[in-house]
Amino acid sequence: MRSNLYVLGDSLKNYERFTKTFFSLSKPIIFQAGECIVSMGDYFSGFYLIRSGLVEVRYTNENGQTKILQLHNGPFVIGASCIDNHQNMLDYNCLTPVEAAYMPKEKFQQWDFEMLLDFSKIQTDKVRILNQQIQDAQNYSNEQRVLRILWEYALTIHTTQMVPLHIDGLKKQTIADLLSITNVQLSSILRRLEKKGYLLSHSEKQGITILKLYSESETTYGT
Residues that bind another protein (CB under 8 A): 40-41, 59, 61, 63, 65, 67, 69, 80-81, 83-84, 86-87, 89-90, 113, 116-117, 119-121, 123-128, 130-135, 137-139, 180, 220, 223
44, 38 in Cβ contact below 8 A? yes
Bridge-based pairing of strands 46-52 and 199-203 is unpaired
Give which of 28, 11, 104, 98 is closest to 56, Cα–Cα: 98
Whether residue 164 is preceded by a cis peptide bond, meaning omega within 30 degrees of 0, is yes
Rounded to the nearest whole angstrom, what is the least distance from the CB of residue 162 to another protein in the complex? 26
In this structure, how many other beta carbons lie within 10 angstroms of the beta carbon of residue 197?
9
Rounded to the nearest whole angstrom, what is the least distance from the CB of residue 195 to another protein in the complex? 26
**If DSSP codes are grouped into helix, strand and coil, which group holds residue 60?**
strand
Rounded to the nearest whole angstrom, what is the least distance from the CB of residue 160 to another protein in the complex? 26
181, 142 in Cβ contact below 8 A? yes
| CB closer to another protein out of 30 and 43 | 43
| CB closer to another protein out of 58 and 202 | 58
Rounded to the nearest whole angstrom, what is the least distance from the CB of residue 185 to another protein in the complex? 14
> How far is CA 215 from each of CA 4, 7, 19, 138, 207, rounded to the nearest angstrom?
15, 18, 33, 19, 23
Rounded to the nearest whole angstrom, what is the least distance from the CB of residue 81 to another protein in the complex? 6
| CB closer to another protein out of 65 and 160 | 65
Give which of 97, 98, 99, 96 is closest to 171, Cα–Cα: 96
Rounded to the nearest whole angstrom, what is the least distance from the CB of residue 161 to another protein in the complex? 22
| CB closer to another protein out of 1 and 84 | 84
| CB closer to another protein out of 66 and 201 | 66
| CB closer to another protein out of 121 and 192 | 121
> How far is CA 222 from each of CA 137, 139, 218, rounded to the nearest angstrom?
12, 10, 11
178, 71 in Cβ contact below 8 A? yes
